């Protein structure tokens, strides 16, 4: 792209757009002599992913060891990579990117919904009481549900715990499981009675700086009144 010219610190080269692993319009951004914030004598490399995707990827320069990162891309020209990618050289053969996996903000599989909260939040820093809400989703015959997440905990949570809650509109009794990343799911049965009623845990899991997913599985749901032949079942709670 740049020929074999002499480069100075801060000089940037961008690749053509490319498609890989189901993602379209990606680019590589490379600073042969380093970004302005790079340490002396280091090159810098970054991946650009358009749209809203959480992507796990590896970057490498020539035969250098790949570096891996998971990042939520939320803006059209947002990039992610390393200021100090590798020692700088006069010439380079290849800058390589491997897409390990990518996640939409909401993914539905059977009765389970996984939400990437950092896509909604833009990977900002959180304080206790800060809240992020998922888009509405439908699963297991229930419509318009949401997840409500406090990355650093609800105000009543213990220190260094995150909080998560399921919001179910309408009048339904729901048995569900909630989990964060790879934590053990917690199960509850709750009668949701208002459009904004939520249920979950103040102390769902230890708090982290970043989260990959908040997941909910709908185990069972019951309408307030169910009729089967001559039998009526009522959920009084």
Q: Show Cβ contacts of residue 195 under 8 Å, excluding neighbours closer than 6 positions.
A: 169, 170
Q: Which two tokens stand for residue 214?
A: 């908040």
Q: Are residues 41 and 86 in the same domain?
A: yes
Task: Identify whether residues 48 and 158 lie together within a single domain.
Answer: no
The reply to whether 85 and 58 lie within a common domain is yes
Asked if residue 150 and residue 83 are part of one domain, the reply reads no
Q: What are phi and psi of 171, to 5 degrees?
A: -110, 100
Please list, in sequence order, all residues whose beta carbon lies within 8 angstroms of the beta carbon of residue 138, skipping any fewer than 6 positions away.
Answer: 144, 145
| Full-model pTM | 0.66
Three-state DSSP state, 94? coil
Residues ≥6 apart with Cβ < 8 Å to 151: 117, 121, 126, 130, 132, 162, 207, 208, 211
Domain residue limits at 146 = 106-224
Can you give the C-alpha Rg of the chain in angstroms?
23
Residue by residue, pLDDT tens for the chain (237 residues) are 665 667 899 999 999 999 999 899 999 999 999 999 999 899 999 999 987 788 999 999 998 999 999 888 877 788 999 999 999 999 999 999 999 988 888 889 999 999 999 887 766 789 999 999 999 999 998 999 999 999 999 999 999 999 999 999 988 899 999 999 989 999 999 999 888 899 999 999 999 988 999 999 999 998 766 667 777 777 675
DSSP class of residue 119 equals H
Per the domain annotation, does 21 fall within a domain? yes
Which CATH number do you get for residue 87?
2.60.210.10
Whether 186 and 170 map to the same domain: the answer is: yes
Identify whether residues 134 and 99 lie together within a single domain.
Answer: no
Tell whether 231 is covered by a domain: no
| 120 and 93 belong to one structural domain | no
Q: What pLDDT is attached to residue 100?
A: 94
Residue 222's pLDDT is: 84
Give me the DSSP letters along 18-33. EEETTEEEEEEEEETT
């Amino acid at each position: 792209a740049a020929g074999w010219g002499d480069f100075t610190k801060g000089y940037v080269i961008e690749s053509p757009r490319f498609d890989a692993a189901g993602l379209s319009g990606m680019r590589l951004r490379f600073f042969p002599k380093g970004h302005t914030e790079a340490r002396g004598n280091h090159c810098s490399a970054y991946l650009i992913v358009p749209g809203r995707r959480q992507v796990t990827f590896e970057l490498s320069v020539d035969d250098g060891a790949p570096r891996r990162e998971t990042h939520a891309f939320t803006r059209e020209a947002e990039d992610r990579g390393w200021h100090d990618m590798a020692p700088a050289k006069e010439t380079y053969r290849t800058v390589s990117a491997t897409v390990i996996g990518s996640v939409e903000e909401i993914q539905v599989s059977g009765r389970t919904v996984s939400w990437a909260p950092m896509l909604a939040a833009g990977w900002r820093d959180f304080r206790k009481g800060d809240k992020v809400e998922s888009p509405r989703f439908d699963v297991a015959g229930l419509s318009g549900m949401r997840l409500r997440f406090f990355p650093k905990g609800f105000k009543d949570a213990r220190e260094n715990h995150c909080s998560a809650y399921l919001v179910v509109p309408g009048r339904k009794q729901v048995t569900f499981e909630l989990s964060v990343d790879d934590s053990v799911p917690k199960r509850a049965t709750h009668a949701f009675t208002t459009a904004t009623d939520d249920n979950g845990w103040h102390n769902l899991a230890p708090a982290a700086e970043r989260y990959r997913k908040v997941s909910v599985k709908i185990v069972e749901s019951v309408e307030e009144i169910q009729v089967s032949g001559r039998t009526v079942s009522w959920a009084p709670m």
